[in-house]
Amino acid sequence: MNPKTNSTVIETALSGVDLIAQPLLNKGTAFTEAERDAFALHGILPPSIGNLDDQVRRRLTVLRSFATNFERYSFLRDLQDTNETLFYALLIRHIEELLPLVYTPTVGEGCQRFSEIWRRPRGLFLSYPNRHRMRDILADPRFDQVRVIVVSDGERILGLGDQGAGGMGISIGKLSLYTACAGIHPASTLPILLDVGTNNQERLDNPLYVGWRNPRISGEDYEAFVEEFVSCIAERFPNALLQWEDFAGANAGRLLARYRDRLCTFNDDIQGTAAVAAGTLMAAIRVSGSSLTEQRVVLVGAGAAGTGIAGLLVQAMMDAGLSQGEARSRFYLIDSKGLVAHGLRPVEGERAQYAQSAEAVADWQLDQAGRIELLDVVRNARPSVLIGVSGQAGAFHQAAVRMMAEQVARPIIFPLSNPTSRSEATPADLVAWTEGRALIGTGSPFPPVPFGDRLIPITQTNNSYIFPGVGLAVLAVHARRISDAMFMAAGRALAELSPARNDSHAALLPPVDQLREVAIAVAFEVARQAQTEGLGETCGDEELRQRIQDLVWEPVYRPYRRV
């Protein structure tokens, strides 16, 4: 039923409304006269025969007529569920305009209001009450081609918290970018939502809510459910890539550590965020004229994303010549209780690796609650880099940013939290507070900021620069596992593509309309790293480039033949 990747001719036994009802087969008015004869489409379709270009123009006109981005998001979701070739043609041709609609920031509202707009099945809801049916659900032959899976349990959607079944919007959105940015065929992708309930009372009280109306399970019940899911995936899709997405910090790191050696898997919130932050930082450092080993990094947000960024950057500093202790000492993690440091409070888990010693902060100022806050960290640590993954709007306040700008010629500031409403600072404020000297990367898109007689471009430090290329690399060399070194390779490849390498006033990362080129370049370096580590099939560089190119699906209408 599903068309094969880049097939010249599509063969199908479906006809009439059954054919048109399949999003991957529907061509709408672009079915030719001969195809209308062969597949009994006369009368079902209007008589005018169009083409993909006409359809893209028509859909774009309608899209732009809506008053809100949520309406546009809903329209695009309907289009994806009706005609996927048209959806991806529209998305790829207008990626800069549409990326903020199909993903951050608009996908956040899409998850919050998911139940309002749910119309047609896409992906799988694996709910706790149906845990005994999981193998049967996954056994359906229509999933035989699946190679890339994105799964969420909806507990930590962007910076919006627990959205329950609405988290499916994240899985769908991420896989849309795998296709749009890396050309991975949509028939080989599968979004999954582990519906283990929700603690969001607003969702539970909403009569329209489509999820399991139950408080979120936890503890041994949750662990057993996830274990059953992983076992089913390993059995049904032994060669697939599984991406974990928007799990709560308490679960994200633990699940990754538990399963990364059993499956070809990664957590984008931890590893993808770390890689794009590292790649953007490497680009910014070149502009600032300093070296990686000189950086002093403050991370506001010490959860899975924060420690993931710290871990990858520490490894990069070690690769550049620092010892592990020297590298870790250059990081200052701040959570809801202030600076993470020994002697102030118990420090456990991953963040303990980056906790400052009691001696190092002995003379630092404590607030009334006994915490060391951002301003005093900036005063004493004199950071060159400030990264936010806290989900707390305004966390980068004026006093701290101005002090940083007094200490550093080119402060590097990345408010990475999504959606836009959760960004730690707005680029306009950062530009004003640093007299235009800050090198800025944001999680969501922001327009250029006027300063004096020029416009300062704002780099969108979005994971879409990383994970599509990683997925493409995995498929190209049939990687069995995904290592941290593969994400380091992705970050370095991204840094090499920085427009700022040739123009210090340019953006730190390529424009989003080049995301396909970025994904292919990232895929090549990640695949080579997998080969180096013995995690994927070996082949020469020329063959590797061809393998990657052969996987890139183009959304064009192909001729149909009835069987």
Specify binding-site residues for (S)-malate: 156, 418, 462
Which amino acid is located at 21 in the chain? Answer: A
Of the candidates 152, 170, 302, the residue with the CA atom closest to the CA atom of residue 229? 152
Beta bridge partners of 194: 126
Q: φ and ψ at 317, to 5 degrees?
A: -65, -40
Q: φ and ψ at 11, to 5 degrees?
A: -105, 130
Instruction: Considering the candidates 27, 73, 174, 209, report the single residue annotated as catalytic.
Output: 174
Of the candidates 418, 446, 499, the residue with the CA atom closest to the CA atom of residue 174? 418
Beta bridge partners of 45: 42
- Are the CB atoms for 340 and 302 separated by under 8 Å? yes
- CB half-sphere exposure, 323, CA atoms < 13 A: 3
Number of neighbouring beta carbons within 10 Å of residue 496? 14
Whether the link from the prior residue into 419 is cis, omega within 30° of 0, is: yes
3 state SS of 503? coil
Q: Rg of the chain's alpha carbons, rounded to an integer?
A: 24
Q: Is 27 a catalytic residue?
A: no
Q: How far apart are CA 447 and CA 404, in angstroms?
A: 24
Q: Is 337 a catalytic residue?
A: no
Q: How far apart are CA 341 and CA 59, in angstroms?
A: 54
Taking CA atoms, 220 is separated from 90, 217, 223, 226, 538, in Å, by 45, 9, 5, 10, 41
3 state SS of 348? coil
3 state SS of 194? strand
Q: How far apart are CA 491 and CA 141, in angstroms?
A: 37
Binding site for a divalent metal cation: residue ranges? Answer: 245-246, 269
Which amino acid is located at 59 in the chain? Answer: R
- Are the CB atoms for 405 and 434 separated by under 8 Å? yes
Number of neighbouring beta carbons within 10 Å of residue 410? 17
Taking CA atoms, 136 is separated from 141, 193, 232, 450, in Å, by 11, 16, 10, 57
* Residue position matching structure tokens 């859909």: 59
Q: How far apart are CA 306 and CA 283, in angstroms?
A: 19
Taking CA atoms, 428 is separated from 100, 389, 418, 436, 509, in Å, by 19, 19, 17, 9, 19
Whether the link from the prior residue into 46 is cis, omega within 30° of 0, is: no
Instruction: Considering the candidates 103, 209, 557, 560, report the single residue annotated as catalytic.
Output: 103
Q: How far apart are CA 279 and CA 494, in angstroms?
A: 5
Taking CA atoms, 186 is separated from 9, 12, 380, 446, in Å, by 17, 17, 51, 29
Binding site: residue ranges? Answer: 156, 245-246, 269, 418, 462
Q: How far apart are CA 175 and CA 191, in angstroms?
A: 7
- Catalytic positions are 103, 174
